[in-house]
Amino acid sequence: MKIALVGYGKMGQEVASVIKEAGVHEIVSISYKSQTDALDTKGIALSDVAIDFTAPSVAVDNITHIAKLGKNIVVGTTGWYDQIPHIKKIVSENNIGLLYGQNFSIGANIFFHIIAHASKLFYKFGGYDVYGLEVHHAGKKDSPSGTAKKIADTIMEHFPSKKRLQNSSLDRQIEQNELHFASIRGGRNPGYHEVIFDSAADSIALSHSAHSRRGFAQGAIMAAEFIEKKKGLHTFDELFRT
């Protein structure tokens, strides 16, 4: 498979490293090696799938241009999901396949399933409150993380008394139907997410900690293999449905 990398920051470089080490796929284009570079449309036209790890401010434009080239896309960039209805239309009009995900770590996606099951159980037996936190490196451009939003949505789906996500600081008492999910930015942490179920009797903490970006890169390549021949809008969690 011929792959075009869109974005060559830390994640783009990690994806390139994994591809080169495996020797299975070929990189035919790299866009935005520096911030002054443009989208390499000529190179992308030679690819089978483009993998985007850029920034929320350019992700939608990138998707639009790549879709017009008729190329399938994996989007690892988060922070643009308010544009999903618009992107779904672009994907349909250009007859391509696009896969996006809040987190491409295989372990993190298994963690989502664990959180879903745990939320069902703690809600069923009652007496527990739930909250969460996430920590990322100082260079992360969105807050809360896409992964935190995914976890929060999963909790609220299976813990019905939590109906609203509260991710800002509070200067008041939190309401019972609010789910508080705090964000911390600083240092070099590639990603840490924790969910706590707390009662008068005990407290149970479930967490996922990324050791490096390698797992995310491996997942992005897996996503490219999945979307290569498909059409329409897809999410990474489709790979984990049983």
- State the residue range of the domain holding 160: 106-209
CATH code: domain of residue 232: 3.40.50.720
CATH code for the domain in which residue 137 is found: 3.30.360.10
33, 124, 136, 162: which one is catalytic? 136
Instruction: Count Cβ atoms within 10 A of the Cβ of residue 94 and give its class: 0-12 exposed, 13-18 middle, 19 or more buried.
Output: middle
- Shared domain for 54 and 6, answered yes or no, is yes
Known catalytic membership, residue 150: no
Among candidate residues 71, 140, 162, 208, the one labeled active-site is: 140
Specify the number of domains making up the chain: 2
| Together in a domain, 17 and 37 | yes
User: How confident is the model over 166-222, as pLDDT tens digits?
Assistant: 998 889 999 999 999 999 999 999 999 999 999 999 999 999 999 999 999 999 999
Phi, psi angles (nearest 5°) of residue 52: -105, 115
DSSP letter at 144 equals S
Radius of gyration over alpha carbons of the chain, in Å? 19
**In terms of domains, do 14 and 100 share one?**
yes
Considering only CA atoms, which of 93, 92, 98 is closest in space to residue 75?
98
139 and 72 in a common domain: no
* Whether 140 is catalytic: yes
- pTM of full prediction above 0.95: no
